[in-house]
Structure 1
């Protein structure tokens, strides 16, 4: 090969490697996974209630009806602390019911997010032995970071997604903008 052809061939190989690496990064969560990991401390935060263990227990969701204002959907932190895991659905602006969950982790942190195992369609979860389990497919996630532990491979890739919230005067407040146009990732 002539020197000019070697440079062109090398450039083509480099472009192909960059393209395939970028595609693999995106397919494996890419920016979404990065965002999720950097948001962990902001969305989960420091412990806010007393630590607890769910070892040897299965704790099922308590369904609640949250209040809604102009800017926030809100409900009591005390209720989540007492029940350990709560569930509710809110209709978004595109007419879909968004399943939401709030639970207390063993370290006393609060998780607020979607209650949907997207590949199987399970909308109900429960706490078991310090894990979060889908009621439909039994896929199990780490309770603190929602990383899949065992179960359906597809479902382990789509754990519950954290939503932004604030705690003001014992009220957990989710900005309506968080769920306004929410839709499943799949």
Structure 2
């Protein structure tokens, strides 16, 4: 014969098992939701830069690229920092190794001098402008955050100008010529 005490203990054990099972399912569901929620988030790596100048405020401004002359010497491409300081946003042409490629350099809002290949790869535009704190393709209108080059809107979001590593030497932004000579479009 089953005693009343045993029935009560069985009910408590059954309730405890159900509660543990439900808690386990909730924990697994929370982990799954958190994992899937982070899958589509773009991570933004810091951009390489040569130097930091005074912070820039581009709010309510439109800044076009100003053509400047770069010098190719000793396996490097050199862009005068003074030209970038004076114009804030420059474009130059690298001609070497049987190819011609536009390069651009600008002062980000933080003051970082960022240098990149001046091409919106999907639409093949080589020119851009700064509007507020955004970099805008002159052909398709795609917009990227000027500080991070993270896509904001437009058709070419995942293909901002490809940033090049550069250094500051003797008043020039210096890029290894091999980086540019061997550069290939991502699309």
2-structure distance, mates of 1:179, 1:78: 22
Structure 2 counterpart of 1:80, from 84, 88, 91: 84
Q: Is residue 89 of structure 1 aligned with residue 89 of structure 2?
A: no
**Equivalent pairs, count:** 148
Query: TM-score, normalized by length of structure 2?
Result: 0.73
Asked if 1 retains the 8 angstrom alpha-carbon contact of 2:68 and 2:83, the reply is: no
Unmatched 5+ stretches in structure 1: 1-24
For 2:181, what is the secondary structure of its paired residue?
coil
Asked if 1 retains the 8 angstrom alpha-carbon contact of 2:141 and 2:154, the reply is: yes
Higher gyration radius (CA): 2
Q: Is residue 108 of structure 1 aligned with residue 111 of structure 2?
A: yes
1-structure distance, mates of 2:67, 2:58: 19
For 1:78, what is the secondary structure of its paired residue?
helix
Query: Per-residue displacement from partner, 1:22-68 (whole Å, max 9, x unpaired)?
Result: xxx9xx9xxxx98x82xx35x136x6211111110100000111111
1-structure distance, mates of 2:96, 2:83: 24
Structure 2 counterpart of 1:52, from 56, 66, 87: 56
CA RMSD of aligned residues (A): 2.1
Structure 2 counterpart of 1:133, from 123, 136, 146: 136
Counterparts of residues 144-163 of structure 1 (less than 5 Å): 144-152=147-155, 155-163=156-164
Asked if 1 retains the 8 angstrom alpha-carbon contact of 2:49 and 2:165, the reply is: no
Task: State the partner residue of 1:178.
Answer: 179
2-structure distance, mates of 1:52, 1:114: 21
Report deviation, 1:70.
1.9
Query: TM-score, normalized by length of structure 1?
Result: 0.74
Report deviation, 1:91.
2.6
